[in-house]
Structure 1
Amino acid sequence: MSAAPATSDNPLLQPWTAPFGAPPFAEIRPEHFAQAFEAGLAESTAGMLAVAADADEPSFQNTIEALEANGPILQRVSSVFFNLAGADTNDAIEAVERDIAPVLSRHSSEMFLNGDLFRRIATLYGQRDTLALTPEQRRVLDRYHTMFVRNGAALPEAQKARLAAISERLATLSTSFGQNVLADERAWTMTLGADDLDGLSEAQVAAAAKAAEDRGVAGYVITLARSSIEPFLQSSTRRDLRETAFRAWTARGENPGATDNRLVVAEMVALRAEYARLLGYESWAHFKLEDVMAKTPEAVRGLLHQVWTPAKARAATEQRDLQKLAAGRGDNIEIEAWDWRFYTEALRKERYDLDDAEVKPYLQLEQIIAAAFDTATRLFGVTFDERPDMPVYHPDVRAWEVRDAEGGHVGLFLGDYFARPSKHSGAWMSAFRSQERLTGDIRPIIVNVMNFSKPPEGQPALIGMDDARTLFHEFGHGLHGLLSDVTYPLISGTGVARDFVELPSQLYEHWLEQPEVLSRFAVHHETGDAMPTEMLDRLLSARRFNQGFATVEYTSSALVDLDFHLLTDTGELDAARFERDTLERIGMPRAISMRHRTPHFGHIFSGGYSAGYYSYLWSEVLDADAFDAFREAGDIFDPATARRLKDFIYSAGGRQDPHEAYRAFRGRDASPEALLKKRGLDVAELASGEV
């Protein structure tokens, strides 16, 4: 690593003078981070120790508020660094990431395991009924006490030390896991010649040509980015190439050598199980689920089982239909996992007279962004003005200022839409700065990151319906951060229970599929003509098509996640065999693969979803029921319903228990029947056996 620059030359440690206090990306280099982290850690540690050593009796202000305001440098540096590590990384940043992950874990443990600090928080918690706290303050105090206890603050010293060591090792392993997956994704490409393009649309061929150009190779390139490989699996008539691509895609993180994640998984599962035992829990799943809406593994398994049985039944019907279609085309094959998307696309065209190549010209990325913005304007009164003058971290990134109905500044929104080798796969929302009022009127800087295929220069980016849903999904998360209206950083924006955080994002997807939205923004990129009504009708009527497959690939992943984290005695865990055994036990259809196989399951091994991948389904119960509120009002933009949605969901952050927040919006709890109806699964197919 290069020598650290002098503090006076480090832009991370100087005032940021760009509009809205945005980071000075053009000035930041990887070598700035080591020194900036060092300064931030020193400031944060000093502040934390000062609170712990305060001679005054603990108060909410000198303890909780002091901790909430502590460490602004570390917060600022961390937000910039980890956003770049995900969206625009390189060897130097990855080296810093490997170095800093255990250091940050150690710093976190030093706070949570500080006995003097916990005594102050425990004293306040014991006095909470007599402190005249606001509801928001009471919630923040409760969360602090819960966080400290769940991080081992009440344990004996020897157990504290072991817990800290486990946390530090897990941070290192989590970083390695994500970097290994990215390395495999970077390393693999499939170069095609002109004779290998049968079945691909013009847009797909253009995207493959652009991928080849970006990599300096001749011909056409398919990558492991989902927006590259899934369309290829849907369209290519070359079964041999589909198999090659599919096997590479599902083998990420499982290739022998330096990037093999199987031993990483085994160690992480064992360490998590030990961590839970130290805190008195039966398993990591019991530990993680106690502090979210679900509360217990039994509740999670019950929800997953509600959809697993009808989903498998639907998938079996779908597979028979695909097999019949293949036979009718003279293809003497048994449907395999690399065939499913290809024949599904053919069957969709046959049943609904639709194919992706016909729909994509009407789904311009630019127009779908506009649709997401317009929906937010109609629901919440916010507007979006593009700001090309803003500093951004990559030329592909765009920035918009967000304003409220009165023209006041709400925040800054960044959109980073195209795949590139420096970006991790997937799609996500993050914050360069979160909203809060404790230290001033702090407005958020929110980013959406996606991995759509970039078109050749001068051509519009055309995306499929699944990609359009992804954009709306992540923008729903973005609005959760942008519309946040709380005082305390801890509960800002997406600072909510893991199985509640997907509600604002999944709910927002519903508006994309409304004719009132699509009829305005689904316009042909060449003619400007709106999508024909009959095509729109066919597109919407196909919404429940292939839902057996989609539900099986998701739910199987959630069940494998749950089973890994219910282990109490991991022994010599063979992660690949454990995955296979679990799938066999639940009766996984052979022709369907998990949506995220274990060696590249970043949600649970390098993200925050361990024992929590079910949460998308849990939130889907809420989102299906929540959108029904607008249907019942007779207007998908009903002002009164939208006002409640903003007040109790999008702007409320974590200031309420999530059950209470949902009831405040809806007037009652949600029913799972709305989910089954949304996915088109037959409630009568539910069974009573366990999975």
Structure 2
Amino acid sequence: MSNLLLKNFDTPFQSVPFEDIRQENFKPAILHGIEFAKNEIDQIVNNLAEPTFENTVVALEQVGKQLQVVTETFFNLNSAETNDYLQQLAQEVSPLLAEYGNDITLNEALFQRVKNVFENTEKDSLTIEEYRLLDKTYKSFTRNGALLTDVEKEKLRAIDMELSTLKVSFSQNVLQETNDYFLHLTDIAQLEGIPVSIATAAKEEALKRNLTGWVFTLQYPSFVPFMKYAANRQLRKDLYLASSRKAFQQNKYNNEKNVKDIVQLRQERAQLLGFESHADFVLQERMAGNPQNVDHFLHDLLAKAKPFALQEVDGLSLLAAKDGIDKMMPYDHAYYAEKWREDKFNFSDESLKPYFSLYQVLDAAFDAAHRLFGLTFSVREDIQKYHEEVTVYEVLENGVHKALLYTDWHPREGKRAGAWMTSYRGQSVVGGKNMRPHISIVCNFSRPSADTPSLLTFNEVTTLFHEFGHALHGIMANTVFESLSGTHVYWDFVELPSQFMENFCYDKDFLSTFAKHYKTGEILPLEEIDKIVASSNFMEGYQTLRQLSFGLLDMAYHTNRFSTMDSVEEFEKKIIEETQLYPTVEGSAMSPSFSHIFPGGYSAGYYSYKWAEVLDADAFDYFRETGIFNAETADKFKTLLSKGGTVDPMELYIDFRGRKPAVDALLKRAGLV
């Protein structure tokens, strides 16, 4: 049988023919794609014509498109629907792809052509987007080894190949540890405090494993409600320890060495390229600019938030004392925070869930996109998908095709934890034709049962809107070059659209349009909506310190403060000590499962979540001033989304807002003033 991955897809919108692809197709397609791309590079290098923007920079932008489709499909599947074969293949091909990347950036003849164009092209002769591409292309070479000696280039190649393997190994270990653990309960008394819906899901999980009783796992829809509602403190501790020791146990899935090796190699790489640290390397191409600015930003927020966080924990401690607990521990926080919230606002997450069925919430997100940007979403049954639970939507703008959107909502053994947006094809203009993107949202929400749809906690409602915001960034993309399109922006700007969309979940009028009981259709009573809005900054001090601890730990690893001689557990404890509100639990560490910064793209960038909160709070304030669906304001925001990375993000923001962002809106929203 011929390899479909080596052909143009004869499918609607050239969508990936998932159901016709065999997993054995991937390796030969990747190997062929690499060789084909190398030939494309040779054609650029061997062009006898004088280097120009078109025959060098634009030509380079088009290199490897076939390979890109194959690898994006492969690695997306490896995250959302993996198996032993795909995981092994990821280990094999990752170093090959790293080597291929270096074959481009370390190609001296190719670099000389790019350098010639960069130094001899008048800026005014190019459009703003074209000059942005030229600048980005030149920097991609100089920042990744083009100016190194031959010996140094070989060292860089070795580092990059090893890093590619380590990152795959890290992710696979976390997935394996997540899948392997479960808490099996057989005594109904152990379920004290657990809502009926959560217990029912746990019983179904047990039946799937051919067990009696109830099973709780480390998957979000199981872990989080157990920590919130289980009255049995020892069981909360057991589940907490299992989560906080993921990939940090004395077995073959331990990631401590991977953490050390990744940090060391990133440090070596940065210094080889002339930077003091990995953070200095990364932040040169971020809004924050340098580690000092990030450190100031994080500690400024820490100083503002910590007094509020301490007050919050004092309040929880008073509640816990009534149960005879004289020293709160981390595994007590969610339980007593939920009790306090129920007492303070007279509602619980569980009581709200019947008003937030998954597809009701999704329809609300679609409605917001329609009212803001004129988008509509319709299911396409004729487009192949990688799993039966996936739904594919065609996105239209004023009746014209805009994008494809794949949605994948529930946990599976082959899916990594968390929630994310990704793409199978980016947006670009090729040969005068606007190639529209194929976007995907992947989450881990509770499954429906025989008689109940998937019901979301309010936190999951905001998660859906968050990932949908990322998706809109991809869907609205309208640039010429794919490498500047959609979410290809500075990493501390990429969270603006996602966090911006979360704000709609707290708008009373909008919330009342979709918070309806899944059985009766009854609208959530106004007093309950008022409680949701009033509780929007509940425990915000604690949550801020938690986010800051992640950001500070990330920066500490990537500013040469960690040595391979250090214990990961002790280093982590020392760095985040100033943010900690409870005693640490010995033998636990989050670093070995900190996927955002080790295999993920947030190394020296985790601070960007808080950084973008300043932007999104300020942006939504503007919408509140003009009306949250004001056409003129929405059109300005649409322009911001559509331009991707073609304009400096601060310029984009000023064009939208009329000024630089102000931190006051965030502090006010968070109740930290």
Confirm or deny a common fold (TM above 0.5): yes
Q: Does 1:248 align with 2:239?
A: no
Aligned equivalent of 1:687: none
Asked if residue 424 in structure 1 is aligned to residue 442 in structure 2, the reply is no
Map 1:113-192 to 2 at 5 A: 113-129=106-122, 132-192=125-185
Structure 1 SS opposite 2:603: coil
Per the alignment, residue 264 of structure 1 pairs with: 258
What amino acid is aligned across from residue 654 of structure 1 in structure 2?
A: G
- Out of 617, 636, 643, the residue aligned to residue 652 of structure 1 is 643
Match runs of 1:208-287 below 5 Å? 208-287=202-281
Q: Is the 8 A contact 2:545 2:579 kept in 1?
A: no
Q: For 1:481-560, what aligned pairs fall within 5 Å after superposition?
A: 481-560=474-553
Structure 1 position 130, deviation (Å): 5.5
1:211 is displaced (CA, Å) by 2.5
Report the Cα distance in structure 2 between the residues aligned to 1:54 and 1:202, rounded to whole angstroms: 70
Relative to the length of structure 1, the TM-score reads 0.95
**Cα contact 1:112–1:152 (8 A) shared by 2:** yes
Structure 1 distance, partners of 2:506, 2:10, is 41
Counterpart CA distance in 2 for 1:560 and 1:482 is 33
What amino acid is the match of 1:666?
Answer: R
Within 1, Cα distance between the matches of 2:489 and 2:371? 25
Equivalent residue for 2:328, pick from 335, 346, 350:
335
Distance 2:226 2:134 in 1: 51
CA distance in structure 2 between the partners assigned to 1:596 and 1:402 by the alignment:
42
* Matches of 1:576 and 1:151, distance apart in 2: 32
Number of the residue aligned with 2:406? 414
Equivalence for 2:665: 674
Match of 2:581 in 1: 589
Q: Tell me which residue corresponds to 1:664.
A: 655
Rounded Cα–Cα distance in structure 2 between residues aligned with 1:128 and 1:197: 70
C-alpha deviations, 1:196-239, integer Å up to 9, x for none? 22211122122223333343433322111122101110011111
Question: What SS is found at the alignment partner of 1:218?
Answer: coil
Q: Is 1:377–2:370 an aligned residue pair?
A: yes
- Gap change, CA 1:213 and 1:60, over 3 Å in 2: farther
Question: Which is further off, 120-129 or 600-609?
Answer: 120-129
Given candidates 51, 63, 68, the residue that maps to 1:58 is 51
Determine the C-alpha separation between the residues in 2 that align with 1:204 and 1:568: 43
The residue identity in structure 2 corresponding to 1:23 is V
Q: Go from structure 1 to structure 2 and tell me whether the alpha carbon gap of 1:185 and 1:669 turns closer, same or farther (over 3 Å shift).
A: same
* Secondary structure, aligned partner of 2:435: coil
Superposition deviation, residue 572 in structure 1: 2.1
1:596 Cα offset (Å): 8.7
Q: How far apart, in 2, do the equivalents of 1:164 and 1:551 lie?
A: 39
In 2: Cα distance, 1:212 partner to 1:278 partner:
52
What letter matches 1:66 in structure 2?
A
The residue matched to 1:451 in structure 2 has which SS?
Answer: coil
After superposition, give the CA deviation of every residue in 1:382-414 in whole Å (9 maximum; x if it has no partner).
000112332111111111110002x00001101
- Larger deviation, residues 383-392 vs 209-218: 209-218
- Structure 1 residues 571 and 218 mapped into 2: Cα distance closer, same or farther (>3 Å)? closer
Contact 1:557 1:596 (8 Å CA) reproduced: no
1:600 aligned residue (580, 593, 598): 593
> Which residue of the other structure, out of 194, 199, 204, is the alignment partner of 1:200?
194
The residue type equivalent to 1:441 in the other structure is: N
Q: Tell me the alpha carbon deviations over residues 575-596 of structure 1, each in whole angstroms, 9 at most, x when there is no partner.
A: 2221112123x25222589999
Cα distance per residue 1:41-83 (max 9 Å; x no partner):
1111111122122111111111111111111220110111011
Structure 1 stretches of 5 or more lacking a match?
Answer: 1-7, 683-691
Contact 1:444 1:482 in 2 (8 A): yes
Aligned AA for 2:281? F
Residue 63 of structure 2 corresponds to: 70
CA distance in 2, matches of 1:171, 1:309: 38
2:394 aligns with 401
The Cα shift of 1:441 comes to 2.4
- Classify the secondary structure of the residue corresponding to 1:341: helix
| Mapped contact 1:265–1:599 kept (Cα < 8 A) | yes
CA contact (8 A) 1:307 1:676 kept: no
Deviates more, 1:418-427 or 1:595-604: 595-604
Mapped partners of 2:638, 2:579: distance in 1: 42
SS in structure 1 of the partner of residue 467 of structure 2: helix
Q: Return closer, same or farther for 1:618/1:130 CA change in 2, 3 Å cut-off.
A: closer
Which residue of 311, 314, 318 corresponds with 2:308? Answer: 314
Residue 568 of structure 1 deviates from its aligned partner by 6.3
Deviations 1:613-664 (A, max 9, x none): 001111111111111111121x1011101001011x2111110011111111
Cα deviation digits, residues 334-358 of structure 1 (max 9, x gap): 2111110001100001010011121
1:23 aligns with 2:7: no
Q: Per-residue displacement from partner, 1:547-606 (whole Å, max 9, x unpaired)?
A: 12211111101101101101167352322221112123x252225899992111101001
Alpha-carbon distance in structure 1 between the residues aligned to 2:184 and 2:604: 38
- Aligned-partner SS, 2:444: strand
Query: Match for 1:631 among 621, 624, 627?
Result: 624
Amino acid at match of 1:645: F
1:348 to 308, 330, 341: 341
> Does the 8 Å contact 2:562/2:571 carry over to 1?
no
Counterparts of 2:210 and 2:471, CA distance in 1: 35
SS of the residue corresponding to residue 525 of structure 1 reads coil
Letter in 1 for 2:54: Q
**1:150-190 deviation line (CA, Å, top 9, x unaligned):** 11111111111111111111111111111110010011011
The alpha-carbon deviation at position 279 of structure 1 amounts to 1.2
C-alpha displacement at 1:97, in angstroms? 0.4
Separation (CA, whole Å) in 2 of partners of 1:677 and 1:37: 50
Listed as ranges, the matches of 1:604-615 within 5 Å are 604-615=597-608
- Do the aligned partners of 1:192 and 1:219 also contact (CA within 8 Å) in 2? yes
For 2:107 and 2:314, locate their aligned partners in 1 and report how far apart those are by CA, in whole Å: 60
Work out whether residues 623 and 633 of structure 2, in 8 Å CA contact, stay in contact via their aligned partners in 1.
yes
2:428 corresponding residue in structure 1: 436
CA distance in 2, matches of 1:643, 1:214: 49
Q: 2:240 is aligned with what amino acid?
A: F
Taking the aligned partners of 1:621 and 1:257, their CA distance within structure 2 comes to 42
RMSD over equivalenced CA pairs, Å: 1.6
Alpha-carbon separation, structure 2, partners of 1:217 and 1:619: 45
1:250-273 CA distance string (max 9 Å, x none): 111111121111111111111111
1:131: Cα distance to partner?
6.7
Residues 591 and 526 (structure 1 numbering): CA distance in 2 closer, same or farther, change over 3 Å? farther
> What SS class does the counterpart of residue 430 from structure 1 fall into?
strand
2 CA distance for matches of 1:215 and 1:309? 48
CA distance in structure 2 between the partners assigned to 1:492 and 1:388 by the alignment:
28
Contact 2:492–2:605 (8 Å) recurs in 1 = yes
Which residue identity lines up with residue 420 of structure 1 in the other structure? Answer: R
List runs of 5+ in structure 2 lacking aligned partners.
none
Work out which of the residue numbers 78, 91, 101 in structure 2 matches 1:98: 91
SS at match of 2:543: helix
Percentage of identical aligned residues = 38
Once structures 1 and 2 are overlaid, which stretch shifts more, 673-682 or 163-172?
673-682
Q: 1-side partners of 2:14 and 2:123: how far apart?
A: 40
